[in-house]
Amino acid sequence: MKEVIHRNSVSRILSISLAILLAFSTTLFGQEGDPDRGKQLFNSNCAACHKLDQRMTGPALAGVTKERDREWLHKWIKNNVALRKSGDPDAIAIFEEYNGAAMNTFPQLSEQDIDDILAYTENPPASAAAQTGGAGQAVAAEPSGIPNEVVLVALILVFGMLVIMLILVNKALRRIAEAKGIELPEDKEGRLPLWKAFVKNQFLVFVSVIVLLLVSAYFVYGYMMQVGVDQGYEPVQPIHFSHRIHAGDNEIDCKYCHSSARVSRTSGVPSLNVCMNCHKNIMEVAPETATAEHSKEFYDGEIQKLYEAVGWDVENQAYTGETKPVRWVKIHNLPDFVYFNHSQHVTVAGLACQECHGPIEEMEVVRQFSPLTMGWCVDCHRTTDVRMEGNEYYEKIHEELSKKYGVEKLTAAQMGALECGKCHY
């Protein structure tokens, strides 16, 4: 009885090979944490006291998972105070080694957050910038781990080798069949088109659908996360106002124009009367004020627009009473369900305008510097210490909460700044 080699043997080999390839790629990427995300968490929570390769307030953290048990590290990072009180000898030894410097507790970090941070200490992203070594000399950070580009090239090479191997195996099987006189079934219908062969292979269809869904979900998620984020928004205003000249060259305090930022929820748009406090007498700019982009004539023309808006007669040095409204374009917009109070941050917290608005004194045209997302605000609350000096109310709360958390300084988050009702109503 003649042996017959069925055509689906090749497709079975292909299916098995693809399964091996998928297993290989899963193993390659299946890390316990994400070092890229870990870098962001490290910078926002740990960088004030730790570096990867240099001892600071705390120890250098490169390779810390090789020195300490991962489960112990989770307990230490979550609440090192509780770990010391439990009598853990390692926790007590570290506390004594660093002269009793109390490490902040991080109850807000999830298990995955900590895994990401530890992954960063094990395998910093290849794009990490050069770090500064001792004596103020710049030391280039040595990239560790496998870059994504290398992994991608390796996967392509492996896939190509599998394809070549399948072709060679197919030819070898045919030669063996011919040598042994095995009759191969004739292809009466001719070769199937590639798309029909693909459709008939259920494994390939399944893998392709999964990959398509994952890729689609990635791009949809990325797009949705940008909805409402206007970072970099730089509208053209009806009257050109240069913060570079006013806040930069002339060093005018931001709160001189935006006076309500100290006492109100909003920073306020200064009235044109505030502008006229100076521009009653300043009718033109100095020649050295001009730039390659904006000439002296341009700036002088904008001052004339101001005079037209307020109804100022330059010749008679008097107001005509004929005013024109200026429709300023709002730059920083928050959703209606978000509450933000400027006075709480400017007066109570003592934050400089540049903390949120960036180097405003260098901007010719103001743009939205920060993303103003919820995650951005939360990160700031987790890393910013509350000012206690001269505030009896905060001093009393600090005294009670510092005992609870075992820290010397409280962050805004530990004072309740992560409560939903603080920003949403």
The pLDDT value recorded for residue 121 is 85
The pLDDT value recorded for residue 259 is 92
**Averaged over 399-411, what is the pLDDT?**
82
Whether 5 shows a pLDDT value over 80: the answer reads no
Of 12-26, 259-273, 337-351, 396-410, the range with the lowest mean pLDDT is 12-26
The pLDDT value recorded for residue 29 is 44
**Averaged over 169-177, what is the pLDDT?**
84
**Averaged over 121-140, what is the pLDDT?**
49
Whether 190 shows a pLDDT value over 80: the answer reads no
As a whole number, the mean pLDDT across the chain is: 82
**Maximum alpha-carbon separation in the chain:** 118
Share of the chain above pLDDT 90, in %: 35
Instruction: Report which of residues 359 and 411 the model is more confident about.
Output: 359
Whether 34 shows a pLDDT value over 90: the answer reads no
Whether 226 shows a pLDDT value over 90: the answer reads no
